[in-house]
Amino acid sequence: MDGLLKDRLLEEGERVAGSKRADTIEFIANNDSSSTLRFSSSRFHQGISVSDASFHIRVTLGRKIGVASTNSIERSALDRCLDEALSIARTTREEPFLLRIPGPCRYSNVSSFYASTARASNEEKAALVSAGFKEGAPSGVLHSGALATSVGEIAVVNSKGLKAYHPYTSAHLSSVASSGDASGSGSFVSNDLTMIDIKGLMRASAETCLKSSSPKEAPPGVYRVLLEPAAVSELVHWLSYTGFGAKGFHDGTSFLSERLGEAVTGEKVAIYDDGLDGGGMAVPFDFEGAPKRRLSLIDRGVAAGVAYDSLTASSVGGESTGHGPFPGDNEGPFPEHLFMEGGDAAASGMLSLLGEGILVKSFHYVNGLLNPRESLMTGMTRHGTFLVRGGAVKCALRPMRFTENILEAFRRIESVSRETAVYPNGSFPLGSVSVPYILINGFSFTS
């Protein structure tokens, strides 16, 4: 993987941001080299190495804003990019507000870079995965998935004197073990490749696969469910996408619109965003250079907050919460370092607490746009759905579709595990969602 370009990024940032050609100038650089080894049926079929960068320049002329970006660090390309941003700012209309960008900031010390991950060769990574193939081989289980690593850096410089830089590495294994119609899955994300127990995850997914064979049909209906963290992560991700961003909150489509301060779930639910928490994929600042800090979203069941960047905050006279996306991202800010707090139950004891119901390992193709105002979502169970009787798995079930108002379902949470697991969140390597096991007394399966 390519080396980092810290000095050059900051030098170009200072040159562009210091050019005094606009009232404010922001320079946001992300240089990233990624490697993805994809495997299917226990053979490697796609090996992908990509070195790319993005350089976003946002300028203001009074209340006019212009944004341009390029993926070339060549000085001539950056100058053209600045010219384009200025041209747009001159052409466009005035905003009803003045964009307020952050000035110089102090950042928490966050460690996201592991040299061993940056240096890991494709041969080493292929060998780790190949060893995992052997975990399923004796029982005829085949593995499909990907081991992806990246090394990159973010630099933000602006004309108010802000200067921020952060290097990172990331590693993510996703593995599906399959045999006929049975399957199991495993996933782990970390800044440090050596933290991923690749063989262990592939072994566990093979074990789930074997338990999933000969599935029975369960009729649609309302069941007690134990959702494992992989399943919970999908629900929390979609809650974030449909409800925790400032744009949806203010246009009225969010389930939190006009409900801050109200109880929206049961008291066992606490969801927050914290880019500084090393329990997730930490990063010290957002893509505007605003410092990361903890933002409570649902606090003991009560709607507590939504995520803002400088643009959305300026438009409503508020403050950024440190969730600035790349300039030009029209979807606006979202929490990208999500945590659902663990509870007091031991995960190992939750099948007993469930007693009678359904154990769901993970969901597939969840969609939260049915009625975002009511947090109505649908999706399929996948890679392990089990009927539980008397606190033990009785048999595997075929995949089932749920359709459920998730906030209402979260009112019916009976138990939350102490243990949590981390999953990727969004396309940027440093987004994550950390969630526990949850036991819900009543979850609707519709087909």
Partner 1 sequence: MKGLFVSVLARLKRLGADYADIRHERITTESLLSLDGEVEGFSTDTSAGVGIRVLYKGAWGFAATNAVNEALAMKAAEEALAIAKTFSSVNTDKVRLSETEPFVECYSTPYKIDPFNVPPEKKISLIAGVTGAALKEKGISSAEAFLEFSKAEKEFCSTEGAIIAQTILTSGGGYHVIAGDGNDAQVRSYPDGHHGLFATRGYELIDELDFMGNLPRVLDEARSLVSARECPSGARDIIIDGPQLALQIHESCGHPAELDRVLGAELGFAGGSFLTIDKLGSFKYGSPVVNIYADPNEPGGAGSYRYDDEGVRAQRVDLVRGGVFTGYLTSRETAPSIGGSSNGSMRGEGWGGLPIIRMSNICIEPGNGTLVDLIADTRDGLLMSVNRSWSIDDKRLNFQFGTEMAWEIRNGKLGQPFRNPVYYGTTPAFWASCDAVCGKDDWRIWGLNSCAKGEPMQVSHVGHGASPARFRSVQVGVGKI
* Residues between 328 and 387 with contacts to partner 1, criterion CB under 8 A: 328, 330, 364-371, 373, 376, 378-380, 382
The DSSP bridge partners found for residue 157 are 27, 163
Distance CA 374, CA 257 (A): 11
Residue 251, H or E segment: helix 246-251
Q: What size, in residues, is the chain?
A: 447
Task: Figure out which of the listed residues 11, 14, 79, 84 binds partner 1, where binding follows CB under 8 A.
Answer: 84
Q: How far is the CB of 162 from partner 1 (least distance, A)?
A: 21
Q: Is 60 in the site for partner 1 (CB under 8 A)?
A: no
Q: Which is nearer to partner 1, 176 or 358 (CB)?
A: 176
Residue (of 221, 217, 216) closest to 442 by Cα position: 221
Residue 406 or 416 with smaller CB distance to partner 1: 406
Give the residue from 338, 234, 364 showing the smallest Cα distance to 282: 338
Residue of 175, 208, 265, 434 that binds partner 1 (CB under 8 A):
175
Looking at residue 353, its amino acid is L
For partner 1, the binding residue among 20, 76, 91, 390 (CB under 8 A) is 91
Nearer to partner 1, 73 or 105 (CB): 73
CA distances from 390 to 278, 357, 436, 437 (A): 38, 9, 23, 19
Binding to partner 1 by residue 206, rule CB under 8 A? Answer: no
Cα end-to-end span (Å), the chain:
47
Contact segment (CB under 8 A) with partner 1 among 119-127, 151-159, 189-197, 223-231 equals 119-127
Among 3, 8, 51, 140, binds partner 1 (CB under 8 A): 51
Q: Residue 432: which of 112, 32, 29 has the closest Cα? A: 112
Q: Which amino acid is at 285?
A: F
The 3-state DSSP class for residue 264 equals coil
To the nearest whole angstrom, how small is the minimum distance from the Cβ of residue 160 to partner 1?
A: 21
Question: Which of residues 46 and 352 has its CB atom nearest to partner 1 in the complex?
Answer: 46
Size of the site for partner 1 (CB under 8 A): 80
Give yes or no for residue 403 binding partner 1 (CB under 8 A): yes
Cα Rg, the chain, nearest whole Å: 23
Binders in 421-440 for partner 1, by CB under 8 A = 427
Closest separation in Å from C-beta 187 to partner 1: 10
Distance CA 283, CA 262 (A): 31
Q: In this structure, are residues 178 and 103 in contact, taking their beta carbons and an 8 Å threshold? A: no
**Binding to partner 1 in span 231-270, by CB under 8 A:** 251-253, 257-258
178 binds partner 1 (CB under 8 A): yes
Q: Pick from 3, 7, 8, 72 the residue near partner 1 by CB under 8 A.
A: 72
**CB 434 to partner 1: min, Å:** 21
Question: DSSP string spanning 109-153?
Answer: ------HHHHH--HHHHHHHHHHHHHHHGGGT-EEEEEEEEEEEE
Single residue of 324, 399, 431, 436 touching partner 1 by CB under 8 A? 399
- Given a contact cutoff of 8 angstroms between Cβ atoms, the answer to whether 365 and 377 are in contact is no
Which residues within the stretch 288-307 sit at the binding site for partner 1 (CB under 8 A)? none
Q: From the CB of 277, what's the least distance to partner 1, in Å?
A: 25
| Residue with smaller CB distance to partner 1, 302 or 370 | 370
| Span near partner 1 by CB under 8 A; candidates 61-69, 110-118, 158-166, 195-203 | 61-69
Upper half-sphere CA count for residue 291 (Cβ side, 13 Å): 10
Contact flags string 404-423 toward partner 1, x per CB under 8 A = xx------------------
Choice between 39 and 165, CB closer to partner 1 = 39
Sign of the torsion angle spanned by Cα atoms 146, 151, 156, 157: negative
* Residues numbered 15-44 forming contacts with partner 1, rule: CB under 8 A: 34, 36, 38-41, 43-44
Describe the crossing of helices 75-91 and 6-17 by its angle, rounded to 10 degrees. Answer: 40
Between 185 and 420, name the residue whose CB sits nearer to partner 1.
185
- Position 213 contacts partner 1 (CB under 8 A): no
Contact 432, 278 (CB under 8 A): no
